[in-house]
Structure 1
């Protein structure tokens, strides 16, 4: 398993997700506490411009613009209803080996789909740039 896969497999464990919430911008008393975020499957993936970005370790759905009253579990289900992690009917520690293998298979599908979309976007952007260069070269030759 690659480093990305190993790191994200560790994220099945609630405590590992919770540890990512260093610098989370919300205080106690809010619904979207680090504890509730981690319970909903989110890991904290802040950027300089967006300190409240959280991503589901499983389906890779990223959400930002959190409000103190946002319920992480409801938001997760609303924005990614097909995420198998948020739809689990039992705790991770209660999963059988068969359950875990099925989950891992579904998780890989999310990762492959996301990587494919990113590659397609990069290809389309490169194609647009190349087309502009070809047109410019053709005009220069006239």
Structure 2
């Protein structure tokens, strides 16, 4: 799972990734090409941006819902994998090319993208808070009941 800083950077840098062509350009070093279902074209069609790490060359992230996936297999279908793990992704549900969007639909996607970011960051912050709470609770308990 990505860090809070990585999520923030992706949210900001993916702001122009409504364009399929721009998403496709990120797949220059994608490990799966011919004879695969998860080709760069299909990955971009499914809303993914390629964002590899040093030891994880197949990491992708949806520009809109910020779903991060890795561990791709040649027979994986990008659209199906995205829908299975993020069935409420507004990009998938709209199922339209960005050039065919109405202004209202584009604003809806921008709103949903912002909501996805807030949910993701909020979830991460809540997990950090829970961890800090549990650590403090254990520390207090060990002081109240030493030994």
Shift of 1:114: 0.8
Pick aligned residue for 1:87 from 86, 93, 105: 93
Alpha carbons 2:33, 2:40 under 8 Å: kept: no
Q: Does 1:24 align with 2:30?
A: yes
Q: Deviations over 1:64-119 (max 9, x none)?
A: 21110111111111221111101224210011211111111111111111111000
- Structure number, greater radius of gyration: 1
- Give the total of aligned pairs: 140
Match among 56, 59, 76 for residue 82 of structure 2: 76
Q: How far apart in 2 are the matches of 1:15 and 1:32?
A: 16
Unaligned runs of 5+ in 2: 1-7
Structure with greater contact order relative to length (CA < 8 Å, sep ≥ 6): 2
Alignment TM-score, normalising by the size of structure 1: 0.87
- Calculate the TM-score normalised by the size of structure 2: 0.84
- The alignment partner of 1:31 has SS state of coil
Whole-Å separation in 1 of the counterparts to 2:26 and 2:132 = 35
In structure 1, the residue matched to 2:133 is: 127
For structure 1, the residue ranges without an aligned partner over 5 or more in a row are: none
Partner of 1:10: 16
Residues of 2 paired with 1:9 and 1:97: CA distance? Answer: 16
44, 64, 69: which one aligns with 2:70: 64
